[in-house]
Amino acid sequence: MPRAAKNIRNLRSEYPKDEILERGLPSNPYKLFEDWMNSALKSVQEPHAMNLSTTTRKAMPSSRIVLLRGIERGGFEFYTNYRSRKGLELAANPQACLTFFWFELGRQVRAEGKVRKVPAAVSDKYFASRPRESRVGAWASDQSREVTDRQTLDERFEFYDRKFRGGRIPRPAWWGGYLLVADRMEFWQARMGRLHDRVQYDRKRNGRWAMVRLMP
């Protein structure tokens, strides 16, 4: 067996001794998420980093890390190129799963649900708030498409950098925001002996949430 494989097999981590108890939990999972996010903001370097999993119409999955940019309009807000792989997959199957993992807290949150684009005005406002380099980059990168070499990408950036120099940089029509409105959310708290706490919320037809505890 390769040395790296042996080292991986023997990895062990000690987790915090926090716990999830049913008593005192909010009836709405978004409230619990906000509480956990506030804790993560104090101790996690990239608390807004989340794994976004999408699938094609044929159920082929793919995942990547994106950044949460708001908990707005009853959902999780993030931004990307609509013509990227994830954008095309969301167009074909507008359902996805988000996963947050905060190692420092021994916590994980999963949110599953339907995804829709945010209004154009909302995307415009967020795009205008981005650093100039990021706005230029949105024009330069035809995300997920093949490119000959790094020089070609750099030349595209320089082209748009000159084009918009001294003026306003509009939001590309192919770039904007999405909102994932969760129908299911799971909260995972690491415990000793791998007997972790897992609490799942499911949205019912009447809009209320039902909560259950899951085996680790």
Residue among 171, 194, 203, 213 flagged as catalytic:
194
185 closest CA partner among 50, 56, 89:
50
Helix, coil or strand: residue 4: helix
Asked if residue 147 lies in contact with residue 164, where contact means CB atoms within 8 angstroms, the answer is no
Q: Is position 162 annotated as part of the catalytic site?
A: no
189 close to 197: Cβ distance less than 8 angstroms:
yes
Note the residue count of the chain: 216
Contacts of 34 (CB under 8 A, 6+ apart): 71
- Please, what is the end-to-end C-alpha distance for the chain in angstroms? 30
The type of residue at 197 is D
Any idea which residue has 């359902």 for tokens?
95
Enzyme catalytic residues: 194
